[in-house]
């Protein structure tokens, strides 16, 4: 790709590496600003974490992972392969270095900083989706509360405490406390084991694979091309950024955006990005159900998220720190089912389809990496953890602004990749 003529020395052409929600959103908003875009992905559109997640656009539940309680829970569950949070026994020094940094950030001051940093993305995430859906992205954005179910009111108090902490950091969440009868009405799939609930109002959800494919189609319809190959290297010369394929073929443009999710550190590391990104892998599958599913279901005590999906229920859960390309571990899937089965009724667990494992990109401090590297023309966007789908379009809009104006938006300062 040859770069278009620059205006005021701003990039006229950009290669976006990564065809998930973050990369494609960046491409779409760059096109809004008149930039010529080529998208590259090793496997194609929505081939990574953007396909199999729960599909929640839930600013009210965008709770950073680095809570002190997560560290305590992680230490207790370290050797339990069935635990929702699992670190397999490994000699990978990079993983243990990452986990050491993560543990150091599992304190309330770091968590609160991550919450406050995420406020601009959460404030804009629903509107950014609405902009896309109203301007050529042919996929539905569903408006529904997320209903969290608990065995007892005492267990529900844990989530309510988290929501109070979020509010104290600036993220106010409209919610209602539900008794057993109210929960049964709001969540027809709730079994008799669930006796209390919390309804998180004002949230949205999508079919994530369908939405991201529709976004890719919209980007192509606006003139972009999507190339499928593994990127071996990204480098700069005197005037261009060069993206090099494994076979030696090259694409050049005025700038490049690295939005490769859990693989981000490989390409971004040489350009001053020292905050590591690791794969926190999640699993999902689809099951038929015998009762209505009016909206997303959250089971916090077993860390399982469920979403209406193509006439059934998508069930997603677990956080597994393992190589992003490693095969699925059957024990992880069975653990999700074993934990959720007693809490839901009318779910035909044995008829599951669309079994999936995907790597969510996690940073040790709970803040994504969005912005310029120390190489002119090379930008990164990733590390959103479990909230990449929700925050991806808002991230893309802000990064497109930075690329085309040369000025870092205030909302991106806490996400500086060179921190």
What is the residue-level pLDDT of the chain in tens, covering all 419 positions? Answer: 333 344 457 899 999 999 999 999 999 999 999 999 999 999 999 888 889 999 999 999 999 989 887 766 665 665 566 666 667 667 688 888 998 999 999 999 999 999 999 999 999 999 999 999 999 999 999 999 999 999 999 999 999 999 999 999 999 999 999 999 999 999 999 999 999 999 999 999 999 999 999 999 999 999 999 999 999 999 998 789 999 998 999 999 999 999 999 999 999 999 999 999 999 999 999 999 999 999 999 999 999 999 999 999 999 998 888 889 989 888 889 999 999 999 999 999 999 999 999 999 999 999 999 999 999 999 999 999 999 999 999 999 999 999 999 999 999 999 999 99
Phi, psi of 172 (to 5 degrees): -80, 135
Per domain, the residue ranges of the chain are: 13-415
Quick one: tokens of 22?
């973050």
Quick one: tokens of 222?
């606006």
- pLDDT given for residue 322 in this prediction: 86
Rounded-to-integer distance, Cα 213 and Cα 224, Å: 14
- pLDDT given for residue 68 in this prediction: 86
Rounded-to-integer distance, Cα 267 and Cα 10, Å: 23
- pLDDT given for residue 7 in this prediction: 45
13-415 CATH: 3.50.50.60
- Helix 108-134 vs helix 388-405: angle between axes, to the nearest 10 degrees? 80
- pLDDT given for residue 48 in this prediction: 81
Q: Residue 346 in 3-state DSSP?
A: coil
State how far Cα 152 lies from the chain centre.
30
Beta bridge partners of 279: 361
- pLDDT given for residue 89 in this prediction: 65
| Nearest by Cα to 262 from 187, 307, 322, 186 | 322
291-313 confidence digits (pLDDT tens): 999 999 999 999 999 999 999 99
Beta bridge partners of 39: 16, 226
160-185 confidence digits (pLDDT tens): 999 999 999 999 999 999 999 999 99
pTM of the model: 0.93
Count the Cβ atoms, other than its own, within 10 Å of residue 192: 10
Yes or no: say if 361 and 262 are a contact pair by the CB < 8 Å rule: yes
Rounded-to-integer distance, Cα 77 and Cα 61, Å: 23
Q: Residue 310 in 3-state DSSP?
A: coil
| Nearest by Cα to 125 from 333, 312, 310, 389 | 389
Yes or no: say if 258 and 268 are a contact pair by the CB < 8 Å rule: yes
Beta bridge partners of 244: 233, 250
């Amino acid at each position: 790709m040859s770069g278009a003529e620059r205006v005021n020395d701003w990039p006229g052409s950009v290669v976006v590496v990564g065809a998930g929600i973050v990369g494609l959103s960046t491409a779409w908003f760059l096109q809004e600003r008149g930039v010529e875009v080529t998208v590259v992905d090793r496997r194609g559109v929505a081939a990574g974490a953007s396909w199999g997640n729960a599909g929640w656009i839930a600013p009210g539940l965008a709770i950073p992972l680095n809570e002190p309680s997560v560290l305590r829970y992680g230490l207790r569950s370290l050797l339990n392969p069935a635990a929702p949070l699992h670190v397999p026994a490994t000699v990978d020094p990079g993983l243990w270095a990452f986990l050491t940094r993560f543990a150091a950030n599992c304190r309330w001051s770091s968590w609160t900083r991550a919450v406050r940093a995420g406020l601009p993305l959460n404030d804009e995430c629903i509107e950014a989706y609405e902009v896309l859906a109203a301007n050529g992205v042919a996929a539905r954005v569903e408006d529904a509360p997320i209903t969290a179910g608990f065995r007892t009111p005492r267990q529900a108090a844990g989530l309510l405490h988290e929501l109070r902490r979020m509010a104290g950091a600036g993220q106010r969440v409209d919610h209602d406390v539900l008794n057993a009868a109210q929960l049964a009405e709001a969540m027809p799939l709730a079994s008799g084991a669930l006796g209390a609930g919390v309804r998180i109002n004002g949230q949205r959800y999508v079919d994530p694979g369908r939405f991201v494919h529709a976004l890719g189609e919209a980007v192509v319809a606006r003139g972009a091309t999507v190339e499928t190959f593994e990127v071996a290297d990204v480098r700069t010369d005197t005037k261009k950024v060069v993206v090099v394929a494994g076979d030696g073929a090259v694409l050049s443009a005025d700038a490049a955006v690295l939005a490769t999710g859990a693989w981000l550190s490989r390409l971004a590391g040489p350009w001053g990005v020292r905050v590591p990104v690791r794969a926190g892998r999640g699993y999902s599958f689809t099951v038929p159900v015998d009762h209505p599913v009016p909206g997303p279901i959250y089971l916090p005590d077993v860390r399982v998220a469920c979403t209406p999906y193509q006439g059934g229920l998508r069930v997603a859960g677990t956080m597994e720190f393992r190589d992003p390309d490693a095969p699925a571990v059957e024990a992880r899937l069975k653990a999700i089912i074993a934990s959720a089965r007693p809490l839901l009724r009318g779910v035909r667990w044995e008829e599951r389809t669309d079994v999936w494992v995907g790597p969510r990109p996690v940073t040790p401090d709970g803040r994504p990496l969005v912005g310029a590297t120390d190489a002119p023309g090379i930008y990164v966007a990733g590390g959103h953890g479990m909230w990449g789908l929700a925050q991806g379009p808002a991230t893309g809009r802000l990064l497109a602004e930075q690329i085309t104006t040369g000025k870092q938006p205030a909302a991106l300062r806490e996400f500086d990749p060179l921190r």
